[in-house]
Chain A
Amino acid sequence: QKEVEQNSGPLSVPEGAIASLNCTYSDRGSQSFFWYRQYSGKSPELIMFIYSNGDKEDGRFTAQLNKASQYVSLLIRDSQPSDSATYLCAGGSYIPTFGRGTSLIVHP
């Protein structure tokens, strides 16, 4: 079974802090990884994708990939209350495989 694992949380951080979300995967054949944000009652929407080892930055978001450790992370800098949502990590070679999601709460 090819799996993507995430801590379900909730992860609670104060406004302005850095939120760190983590994910591990079992399929070594996975080449691309995605982070989606899902607000309650809504469908997931893409925040970032990463294919190569190392860091990838986009505004307040940084994705990190370590293929040797089979580890993916998402850092959110200057967290805002509007970032409060469930964050889904996804991998998989051709079939998107999703983690169960981490609930993030950013409190004022």
Chain B
Amino acid sequence: DVKVTQSSRYLVKRTGEKVFLECVQDMDHENMFWYRQDPGLGLRLIYFSYDVKMKEKGDIPEGYSVSREKKERFSLILESASTNQTSMYLCASTNPGSSGNTEAFFGQGTRLTVV
């Protein structure tokens, strides 16, 4: 019954490392999103994608990039990890509907710690 899967539940990386967070959905959804969630700040949108090879910046894209080579897979890349990128990262997917998006399905989250 798994719908959105993130590659890691917990990650510990060193400052300056390149970090890859993978997300795969099996619902054939068009839209995929990466959020980070920090206490008191809620869910903040990093990047999103409407289609294969298409990406758009969200509210906080600095220090991140993304890749969507296949419809079901959306990767978040931290080019050079920094301690202020320690956070919970959530991947989500939706489909466009007649009244805007359908509900967002979330992965289980990746708790990233940068030391």
> Do B99 and A51 touch (CB < 8 A)?
yes
Q: How far is the CB of B39 from chain A (nearest CB, A)?
A: 10
CA of A93 to CA of B97 in the docked complex: distance in angstroms?
10
> A99-B42, A100-B41 given as contacts; is B100 within 8 A of A92 (CB)?
yes
A94 contacts across to B, CB distance below 8 A: 31, 96, 100-101
Chain B residues, CB < 8 A from A32: 97, 99-102
- Selected from B41, B43, B99, B100, the residue in CB contact (under 8 A) with A88 is B43
Among candidates B40, B94, B106, residue contacting A8 with C-beta atoms closer than 8 Å: B40
Q: What is the size category of the interface that chain A forms with chain B? A: 20 to 34
> Which partner residue on chain B sits nearest A44 by CB separation?
B106
A90 / chain B contacts, CB cutoff of 8 Å: 104
Tell whether, in the assembled complex, residue B40 and residue A31 are in contact, meaning their CB atoms are under 8 Å apart.
no
- Is A34 in contact with B96, judged by CB distance below 8 angstroms? no
Closest chain A CB from B73 CB (angstroms): 18
Taking CB atoms and an 8 Å cut-off, the chain B residues in 98-114 that contact chain A are 99-104, 106-109
B42, A42: Cβ atoms under 8 Å?
Answer: no
Contacts of A44 in B (CB 8 A): 43, 90, 104, 106
Residues from chain A with a CB closer than 8 A to the CB of B43 are 44, 88, 98
Chain B interface residue count, CB cutoff 8 Å, equals 25
A residues near B (Cβ < 8 Å) are 8, 30-32, 34, 36, 42-46, 49, 51, 88, 90, 92-101
Instruction: Give the A-binding residues of B (Cβ under 8 A).
Output: 31, 33, 35, 40-43, 45, 48, 58, 90, 92, 94, 96-97, 99-104, 106-109
A-B contact pairs, 26 of them (CB 8 A): A32-B97, A32-B100, A32-B101, A42-B108, A43-B90, A43-B106, A43-B107, A44-B43, A44-B90, A44-B106, A45-B106, A46-B104, A49-B103, A88-B43, A90-B104, A93-B100, A94-B96, A94-B100, A95-B45, A96-B92, A96-B94, A96-B104, A98-B35, A99-B42, A100-B41, A101-B42
